[in-house]
Amino acid sequence: MQVTETLSEGLKRGFTVTVPAGELESKRAARLKELGQSMNLPGFRPGRVPLSIVKQRYGTAVQGEVLEQAVGDATRALLE
């Protein structure tokens, strides 16, 4: 994660935070795997749902969740 200050006027501050795509992808893959292990889908044993089906069902939601978590983590790190 790289943080760059873009604005510094009095009490105003602006920052640009860059998070590597690899870091986001690894968090996304870990979350999808975690979901797959807890899913109970007809036709599959509990916890044995293929990753492709988990991605198909929850891929977009997980991507949003990971991005939201990354922004929150970056903000917390920035304010410390």
Domains in the chain and their CATH numbers?
A: 19-79 (3.30.70.1050)
Query: With the C-alpha atoms ordered 24, 29, 34, 39, is the resulting torsion angle positive or negative?
Result: positive
pLDDT tens-digit profile, the chain (80 residues) = 888 889 999 999 898 989 899 999 999 999 999 999 999 999 999 999 999 999 999 999 999 999 999 989 988 988 88
Residues with Cβ within 8 Å of 13's Cβ and at least 6 positions away in sequence, in order, are 5, 7
> For residue 52, with 0-12 CB atoms within 10 Å meaning exposed, 13-18 middle and 19 or more buried, which class applies?
exposed
pTM higher than the cut 0.75:
yes
Q: Is 14 helix (H, G, I), strand (E, B) or coil?
A: strand
